Amino acid sequence: MTTCPPCRPRVPRALPAGRRAAAFTMAEMVVVIGIIAIVFTSFAIATRPNAGKSVRLAQTEVAGLFTIARLQARATIGNGRRVAGEDDAARVIIYAGKQSDEDAARYLRQIQVVVPDPDDPNNKWVTKGETVMLPTGVYVVPPGYIPPVAPGVTWPGGGGLSSQFVSMGNGQTNGTTTTASATTPVSMTVDGQASKPFYFIRYSSRATLGGNGDRLVLSPGLARAPGASGEPVLFTSPQNVRGFFISQYGAVTFLKDVQDF
């Protein structure tokens, strides 16, 4: 009788070395691609513009200008320039030109401190300290009207979330302090350049304001495409406004939340 060879367990055939390597590499690639996707998603979230954070940064950058303005006002004593019986000694100015593409980059974003030019104090001004350019997407809310807003955005009425520049006027009318905020920019010649329109907060040589107090409001906004009709900026996030109230005595109060207005 013929006997069969002893039964041996079946051993799976090993894949050729080249095929084993290919399969392993494919698994690695899937894992690596997954990790890359997670990293890029996390990076996009972390670097996505944050309206609230940008406005907080802008508020910090602007705050120092009020201190500079008060110091400069006391130092220059107006260089002979007077308004309503007081020295027009220093101004915090906000660029308000909007006639060209060049203006658009600075419109409601460029803020600086100026004092009267000692050689020609009539309406020529010299910058003192650094010029602040607000972070991209943050603007000063102009005075006197509810600003245009992005689609789907509702801006509170009553002018409570717009800037107020009482000191742009004479500050006094027939001896009585006025509460009216100027709404039209004033042309000024700054650092010898061509005259341009600015809003401003005016300080006397006593470091006081020519009125009963001003308010500067900062808000997220969206620049319209060059040449688009209407205002150059659409305001996008009234819940993220911040700003300052500057009393007639020059004291600065930080407005850190929409409820502060």
Give SS3 for 68.
Answer: helix
User: How many structural domains compose the chain?
Assistant: 1
Domain with 98, as residue range(s), is 51-256
Tokens linked to 140: 């000063």
Q: Is residue 31 part of a domain?
A: no
Q: Is residue 29 part of a domain?
A: no
Q: Residue 218 burial (CB < 10 Å; 0-12/13-18/19+)?
A: buried
User: How many other CB atoms are found less than 10 A from the CB of residue 198?
Assistant: 23
Q: Residue 56 burial (CB < 10 Å; 0-12/13-18/19+)?
A: middle
Q: Is residue 240 part of a domain?
A: yes
Who's near 20: CB < 8 A, 6+ residues apart? 14
Whole-number pLDDT of residue 132: 97
Q: Is residue 170 part of a domain?
A: yes
Q: Is residue 40 part of a domain?
A: no
Q: Which residues of the chain have pLDDT under 70?
A: 1-49, 84, 121, 170-179
Q: Is residue 132 part of a domain?
A: yes
String of DSSP letters for 97-135: --SSHHHHTTTTTEEEEEEE-TT-TTTEEEEEEEEEEPP
> How far apart, in whole angstroms, are the C-alpha atoms of residue 79 and residue 113?
15
CATH number for 109:
3.55.40.10
Note the Cα 225 to chain centre separation in Å.
Answer: 18
Q: What's the start-to-end Cα distance of the chain, in Å?
A: 108
Whole-number pLDDT of residue 8: 56
CA-angle at 123, arms to 119 and 129, nearest 5°: 75
Q: Is residue 226 part of a domain?
A: yes
Q: Is residue 22 part of a domain?
A: no
> How far apart, in whole angstroms, are the C-alpha atoms of residue 77 and residue 89?
5
